[in-house]
Amino acid sequence: MQPVDILMLKAMHPGVMSAVEARFTLHRLDLAPDPEAFFQEIGPRIRGLATGAQAPVDRALIARLPTLEIVASLGVGYDTIDTGAARERGIVVTHTPDVLTDEVADLALGLLLATVRQIPQADRYLRAGHWPRQTYPLTPTLRGRTVGILGLGRIGRAIATRLEGFGVAIAYHGRRRQPGVAYDYHPTLLGLAEAVNVLLVVAPGGPETTGLVDAAVLEALGPQGLVVNVARGSIIDEAALIQALQAGTILGAGLDVFAREPHVPPELIAMEHVVLLPHVGSASVHTRAAMGKLVVDNLTAWFDGRGPLTPVPETPWTTRP
């Protein structure tokens, strides 16, 4: 069988790279001294592409790979891939759902608790030697709060299940009411924000959700409101969030994602009532290994003629072209 050429735009999990190299012929764009010469020589041979959210796959890149058949993405979100351009060419796009659900849900709960109980701030207070002179100030609490979830998909449901154990009221907003779900449903995000004082953002990224959490939504949360985002930075109007935090329109925020990663606005970094993480929602050794295996399994299944394992809805697969 003729070796299959696979392109990797940037370095990925070592397990992914070694597994791809063992099964296919791997090419690394990030190691190419002359990218233009690379595309001219190697581009026409590339049949598969392995990537992650930090390496966008746009229409121009797809056009440079005339024999591309599959884009295997590491992550549940795939808003950095032009699925429309892929669909036009008959290219299937896959992602890695389910294997990261529990990890991200765990992190979301941890980030919520860290934000409301000021865990990182208390840690810094102790390390700075302040405790012998004065006890740490009392913090806000999760008690008596109502948590609103924006996006009750796989991860949103897993977060809600965990929240039930904390005895808080739960509500949600999405494109439609979900059958068999007992949580209060709000047909508008503004309505959800008015009914809750914690907003957990778990919706998919992309043009439909860009700036969805705006100044009006933040104001509706109220002065005791908290925002926790483990989805995509683009979903929150970052400038409006900064203004709301500076003005005391809301109480605080816990953010694992940002609009221009890895660049974080200095205004956010300067605030003590904000907890910031470097997009580590699924970043455990166990879960990243499982995600990487699914990337490789999708490539292997495709080129073995079995079809993709986890194609995205925008590029449905019926028969191999």
Q: Which is the catalytic residue, given 28, 45, 162, 279?
A: 279
- Look at residue 321 in the predicted model and tell me its pLDDT: 43
- Look at residue 29 in the predicted model and tell me its pLDDT: 94
Structure tokens at 193: 């924000």
Say how far apart CA 296 and CA 16 lie, in whole Å: 7
Per CATH, domain 101-276 is 3.10.20.30: no
Per CATH, domain 5-97+285-303 is 3.40.50.720: yes
Which residues, 6 or more positions from 247, have their beta carbon under 8 angstroms from its beta carbon?
none
Q: What is the pLDDT of residues 145-165, one digit of tens each?
A: 999 999 999 999 999 999 999
pTM of the model: 0.90
Average pLDDT rounded to a whole number, residues 190-211? 96
| CATH 3.40.50.720, the chain: domain bounds | 5-97+285-303, 101-276
- Look at residue 319 in the predicted model and tell me its pLDDT: 54
Q: Which is the catalytic residue, given 194, 261, 267, 314?
A: 261
Is residue 279 annotated as a catalytic residue, yes or no?
A: yes
Per-residue pLDDT at 203 exceeds 60: yes
Q: Which is the catalytic residue, given 13, 232, 238, 288?
A: 232
Q: Which is nearest to 218 in space by CA: 186, 252, 184?
A: 252
